[in-house]
Amino acid sequence: MIKILLFAGLKDRVGKSFITLENGPMTVSELKKELEKVSGLENLTNVMVAVNETYADGDVVVRAGDTVALIPPVSGG
């Protein structure tokens, strides 16, 4: 199982602070494509990803037991 933590607007759109996936192993790019099938996560193009608290590029492999954080771009002032 892969735990996906959702932050900011993603959390609001999905209505949960995390979801889980039974799939794996897969790359971060493959994971984002799979997650885009979930209502509220349709466009993850600009979302940063951290795997086990380390920012990860698209070719990093995610495995069962990993924790993934989806961090959307934010703005403020």
List, for residues 20-53, the tens digit of each pLDDT value.
999 879 999 999 999 999 999 999 999 999 999 9
Helix (H) or strand (E) holding 3: strand 2-6
Among 1.10.3720.10, 3.30.70.1380, 3.40.50.720, 3.10.20.30, name the CATH number for the domain at 2-71.
3.10.20.30
Please give the distance of CA 44 from its chain centroid, rounded to a whole number: 8
* Residue 6 falls in which region: left (phi positive, over 0), alpha (psi -120 to 50) or beta: beta
Residue 3 backbone phi and psi in degrees, to 5: -90, 125
Q: Report residue 75's pLDDT band, with 50, 70 and 90 as the boundaries.
A: low
**pTM here?**
0.90
Bond preceding residue 72 cis, omega within 30 of 0 = no
pLDDT given at position 10: 94
Q: Are 64 and 28 contacting, i.e. CB atoms less than 8 angstroms apart?
A: no
- Give the domain ranges of the chain: 2-71
